[in-house]
Structures are given as structure tokens and as C-alpha cells.
């Protein structure tokens, strides 16, 4: 490969991939982590709750809107159940970005975002790009977390806030475009 063709990081250039970036998807059980990934990857939605067992990994190339490049992201979707907490180290290890997900209809999932973020910090991930996601906006009548609350947390965590629905697909593609963009920009120094 010539120098011209060579690019560092998970950027596809002339059809070649140099690396894949790791994005962890964290948040309480049943907030919709798996559903968001499934909606994004297959445009399908599963109403039945099928708890993730262990870790599920999804690899997706994402074309950047503002650059002539594609970033390949590997999403790590963890089981939220405590019996899988022993998987946390390999799960968090070496992550390049994170999606912090809560369910706008359940307050406990919102307050637990702080705990998930603290766990990430404990594994040395305080500097990586992140997005705060309030999922299930289609359940408007059951909403417990109003916008100002989420925006306050968003500022505290220095993570842009997006509201999504894995059911309707609202803002789902936006989340993935945004995280790809944040990863791309965060790796700028290496290109």
C-alpha cells in the first residue's frame, strides 16, 4: 500500500480498512441498548424483551456526512444483569467511544447513568467521546425525565444529548452518524 493510500485508524480509504474502533453501549437492563443497535443495523424492532446474554458485538461501517470517509465501528452491547459484571473489564477495556443509554419512562435508569459513567471512568475512559441517549420517546405519556433534567446531565457529563425511539426509529441514524463523527474527529491527530 502506498503512503497516499495509508490512513491511520478505522477509516476506509480506497477500500482498505486499517482499524476498527470500539464503541461500548452502556445503561441499565431493558433501556433499549440492543433494540437501538438492531434498529440501526437491520431496521427491525422486537417487542418481546430478549435479555442480552454476555456480550454481543456488532460491526458496522458508517459513512461520514461531512467527510469523504467511512468509519468502521464495533459496538459492544453488554448484558445489564449483575451476574455478568465479571465481563466489565474486557467490555470497557480499550473503548474509543460510548453510548450512555437510559429509558425516559424510568427514573432509576436515568440516575444510574452516573454509575455507568463512573464505571467507565474507573476503566480510564473519561476522555473518550460519548453521547447521552434518552430512549423510548414514543412512550410520551409515560415520560418521567423531562428535557431540562437530561440537558443538565448532558452538560455534567460533557456528552451531547439525543432522544430516540428504537420502535419508530426516531433519531436512531442520527445517533450513529454522530458517534462516528465524534470518533473520527477524536482520532484526527493520528491521521
Which of the listed partners (Mg ion, ligand GDP, none) does 31 bind, with a CB threshold of 5 to 8 Å by partner kind? ligand GDP
**Using CB distances below 5 to 8 A depending on partner kind, what does residue 138 bind out of Mg ion, ligand GDP, none?**
ligand GDP
Q: Which is nearer to ligand GDP, 69 or 139 (CB)?
A: 139
The site map against Mg ion for 26-65 (x = CB under 5 A) is -------xx-----------------x-------------
Contacts of 156 (CB under 8 A, 6+ apart): none
CB of 33 to ligand GDP, least distance (A): 3
Residues 6+ apart with CB under 8 A from 16: 1, 5
Question: Between the CA of residue 137 and those of 7, 16, 102, 122, what are the distances in Å?
Answer: 39, 38, 11, 30
**Nearest by Cα to 95 from 79, 112, 119, 113:** 119
Q: Exposed (0-12), middle (13-18) or buried (19+): which is 17, by Cβ within 10 Å?
A: middle
Q: Which chain residues interact with ligand GDP by CB under 6 A?
A: 29-35, 46-47, 49, 52, 80, 135-136, 138-139, 165-167
Residue nearest to ligand GDP (CB): 32
* Minimum CB–partner distance for residue 39 and Mg ion (Å): 13
Amino acid at each position: 500500500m502506498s503512503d497516499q493510500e495509508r490512513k491511520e485508524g478505522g477509516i476506509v480509504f480506497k477500500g482498505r480498512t486499517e482499524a476498527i474502533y470500539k464503541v461500548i453501549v452502556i445503561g441499565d437492563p431493558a433501556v433499549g441498548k440492543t433494540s437501538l443497535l438492531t434498529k440501526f443495523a437491520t431496521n427491525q424492532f422486537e417487542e418481546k424483551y430478549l435479555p442480552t446474554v454476555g456480550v454481543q458485538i456488532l460491526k458496522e461501517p458508517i459513512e461520514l456526512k461531512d467527510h469523504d470517509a467511512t468509519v468502521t465501528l464495533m459496538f459492544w452491547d453488554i448484558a445489564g444483569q449483575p451476574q455478568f459484571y465479571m465481563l466489565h473489564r474486557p467490555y470497557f477495556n480499550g473503548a474509543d467511544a460510548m453510548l450512555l443509554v437510559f429509558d425516559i419512562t424510568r427514573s432509576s435508569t436515568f440516575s444510574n447513568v452516573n454509575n455507568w459513567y463512573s464505571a467507565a471512568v474507573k476503566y480510564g475512559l473519561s476522555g473518550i467521546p460519548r453521547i447521552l441517549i434518552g430512549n423510548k420517546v414514543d412512550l410520551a405519556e409515560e415520560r418521567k425525565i423531562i428535557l431540562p433534567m437530561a440537558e443538565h446531565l448532558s452538560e455534567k457529563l460533557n456528552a451531547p444529548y439525543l432522544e430516540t425511539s428504537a420502535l419508530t426509529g426516531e433519531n436512531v441514524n442520527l445517533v450513529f452518524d454522530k458517534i462516528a463523527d465524534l470518533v473520527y474527529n477524536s482520532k484526527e491527530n493520528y491521521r
